[in-house]
Amino acid sequence: MSQQSLSAAIAHLRRGGLLIYPTETSYAIGCDATNARAVRAIFRLKGRERGKSLPLIVASRAMAERYARLTPLARRLTQRHWPGPLTIVVDSRKSIVESRFTEQGSLPPTGRGSDSSFRSSRRAKEERGWGKFAPGVLAPNHTIALRVSSHPIARALSRHLGRPIVSTSANRSGEPPTRSIAAMHRAFGNDPRLRILDGGILPKQKPSTIIDARGRRSVILRSGCIAV
What is the reported pLDDT for 131? Answer: 58
Per the structure, how many domains does the chain have?
A: 1
Q: Which helix (H) or strand (E) holds 116?
A: helix 114-125
Residues 51 and 147: their CA atoms lie apart, in Å, by 21
What is the reported pLDDT for 189? Answer: 84
DSSP E strands in the chain: the ranges are 18-22, 27-30, 56-57, 68-69, 86-92, 143-147, 165-166, 168-169, 194-196, 209-212, 219-222
Identify the domain containing residue 73 by its residue range: 3-99+133-222
Please report whether residue 117 resides in a domain. no
What is the reported pLDDT for 217? Answer: 96
Please report whether residue 66 resides in a domain. yes
Please report whether residue 75 resides in a domain. yes
What is the reported pLDDT for 28? Answer: 97
Please report whether residue 13 resides in a domain. yes
How buried is residue 9: exposed, middle or buried, by Cβ count under 10 Å (0-12/13-18/19+)?
buried
Please report whether residue 91 resides in a domain. yes
Please report whether residue 29 resides in a domain. yes
Residues 225 and 228: their CA atoms lie apart, in Å, by 10
Neighbours of 75 (CB within 10 A): 15
User: Exposure string (b/e) for 121-136, b if CB count within 10 Å is 16 or more?
Assistant: eeeebeeebbbebbeb
Please report whether residue 105 resides in a domain. no
CATH code: domain of residue 36: 3.90.870.10
Tens-binned pLDDT, residue by residue, of the chain (228 aa) = 889 999 999 999 999 999 999 999 999 999 999 999 999 999 999 999 988 999 999 999 999 999 999 999 999 999 999 999 999 999 998 654 443 333 333 333 334 444 444 344 444 443 344 458 999 999 999 999 999 999 999 999 999 999 999 999 999 999 988 899 898 888 888 888 899 999 999 999 999 999 999 999 999 999 999 988
Please report whether residue 150 resides in a domain. yes
Partner residues linked to 29 by β-bridges: 20, 168
What is the reported pLDDT for 95? Answer: 52
Question: Are 208 and 225 spatial neighbours (Cβ–Cβ below 8 Å)?
Answer: yes
What is the reported pLDDT for 105? Answer: 32
User: Exposure string (b/e) for 195-220, b if CB count within 10 Å is 16 or more?
Assistant: bbbebeebeeeebbbbbbbbeeebee
